[in-house]
Amino acid sequence: MSDYEKETSASTELAPPKSLDDMLPKPSRRGFLRGSGLTLSAAVGAAIPFASNLPEGFIPVALADTDMFDGKDGLTVLNDRPANAETPPHLLNDDITPTARHFIRNNGNPPENMSADGWKLTVDGLVDTPMELSIEDLKSKFEVVTQALAIECGGNGRGFFDPPAKGNQWTLGAVACSEWTGVRFADVLKAAGVKNNVIYTAHVGADTHLSGTPGKLALSRGVPIEKAMDPSNLIAFAQNGNALHPMNGAPLRLVIPGWPGSCSQKWLTRVWLRDIVHDGPKMTGTAYKVPNYPVEPGEKVDTKDFDIIHAMPVKSLITSPMTGAQTGDSSISVHGHAWAGDDLVEMVEVSIDFGATWTKADLAAPVNPYAWQNFDATLDLPEKGYYEIWARATSDKGVSQPHAINWNPKGYLNNTLHRVAVRRV
């Protein structure tokens, strides 16, 4: 048992998880999914011969694809237990990602109660003054700020690895840049008083493990204290001017931009400070880690040779045109976003001749630190036919996106060039 498990087993008692249908916010849908196989058959428009074998918490894909969660629009469902869904690139065209288009990444079962009333955040561990704060306390005792902050799942792009890596087969859409409102994480930590021997934060949410084991958490990660004190990190209670969406962490979450989204604990209930690297769930073994040396695709790597992922790599995403678009014009407008972990994007280039030549795109500065940067270009299509638009971002450290995937066993950090196919007809 890890230090984390010893510390939390006695102090954290969690209710058994509910099935996915019990978590959905729409009452009529909860009642519907609790119904019989006959009810499910009516919903999908056909008999379901093996309905009795459908595991608790799963719903038919035909329903998941069209009506996964209230308030979400156009997302592609990867799986429903835990619930994970990504956004097709063309639906990420907005400079600020609408809540309806923000991807969903869960590791366990969301909590039953996501009401802001009575929600408490505990800040303890190696602090001078342990605190228990309501959301109203956060609003009244600390400066409230709003920032556009990009969040990306560490496994975004895993679906393109060959040989395949285990895990959610994300393609391109496990990334977003919404406006988040909350208080600075650093301000709260300073108010608690960070002791001199603190090395790492530890984050705890109200979500529960899929197994239903009381007190067992699905995810509890943290960051080095130096990263935690970055003024861009937020304890957020609003998204795009409204309360957080239930699947994006309502009513309280961390936003730790530039690092894997798993650091941005949802349904936040506790932050504690430690004098060791946090060893909570998904902090040990090979979770959110990559080999500390280049490896051959498919190569076995000893666990001791993995390092924890910190900053995410430089990356770009073409959001317009969408792949498969056709035009009768001799030119085409390109729009997209680029980001670079803890760094800035210095340049985005685009190509229509498979990278033989590159055109520099117009690149906007971020609206604030850790927001993605928007780029635009107009490209000439010299004759009718098939074209690929490629995008390549370069950071202010001089690091550019690669042409090929840097393979790793867990399928993290895929930042290869983004390509979309278009035709001039």
Q: pTM of the predicted model, to two decimals?
A: 0.86
Phi then psi dihedrals of residue 159, to 5 deg: -65, -10
Q: What is the mean pLDDT of residues 226-242?
A: 98
Q: How far apart are CA 117 and CA 99, in angstroms?
A: 22
Residue 65: pLDDT over 60: no
The two most distant CA atoms of the chain are separated, in Å, by 70
First vs last C-alpha separation in the chain: 63
Q: What is the mean pLDDT of residues 45-51?
A: 76
Q: How far apart are CA 96 and CA 147, in angstroms?
A: 11
What 3-state class would DSSP assign to 39? Answer: helix
Q: What local confidence, expressed as pLDDT, does residue 34 receive?
A: 33
Q: What local confidence, expressed as pLDDT, does residue 50 receive?
A: 81
Nearest in space to 411 (alpha carbons), one of 221, 218, 159, 105: 159
What integer best gives the mean pLDDT of the chain?
89
The pLDDT tens digits of the residues spanning 297-351 come to 999 999 999 999 999 999 999 999 999 999 999 999 999 999 999 999 999 999 9
Q: Where are the domains of the chain?
A: 315-424
Q: What is the mean pLDDT of residues 217-243?
A: 98
Q: What is the mean pLDDT of residues 145-169?
A: 97
Residue 399: pLDDT over 90: yes
Report percent pLDDT > 90 for the chain. 81
For residue 3, name the pLDDT band (cuts at 50, 70, 90).
low
Burial class (CB in 10 A: 0-12, 13-18, 19+), 331: exposed
Q: What local confidence, expressed as pLDDT, does residue 215 receive?
A: 85
| Residues forming beta bridges with residue 330, ordered by sequence position | none
Q: What local confidence, expressed as pLDDT, does residue 27 receive?
A: 28
Q: What local confidence, expressed as pLDDT, does residue 41 receive?
A: 62
CATH fold of 315-424 reads Immunoglobulin-like (2.60.40)
Report percent pLDDT > 70 for the chain. 86
Residue 66: pLDDT over 50: no
Q: What is the mean pLDDT of residues 246-250?
A: 96
Q: What local confidence, expressed as pLDDT, does residue 250 receive?
A: 97
Alpha carbons within 13 A on the beta-carbon side of 373:
26
For residue 419, name the pLDDT band (cuts at 50, 70, 90).
very high
Q: What is the mean pLDDT of residues 274-287?
A: 98
Q: How far apart are CA 207 and CA 11, in angstroms?
A: 16
For residue 17, name the pLDDT band (cuts at 50, 70, 90).
very low
* Distance set, CA 115 to CA 111, 303, 416 (Å): 10, 40, 40
Q: What is the mean pLDDT of residues 275-301?
A: 97
The pLDDT tens digits of the residues spanning 74-100 come to 999 998 889 999 999 999 999 999 999
Residue 14: pLDDT over 50: no
| Residues forming beta bridges with residue 373, ordered by sequence position | 338
Q: What local confidence, expressed as pLDDT, does residue 42 receive?
A: 57
Token reading at 9: 């087993």
Please say whether the beta carbons of 117 and 203 come within 8 A. Answer: no
Q: What is the mean pLDDT of residues 230-242?
A: 98
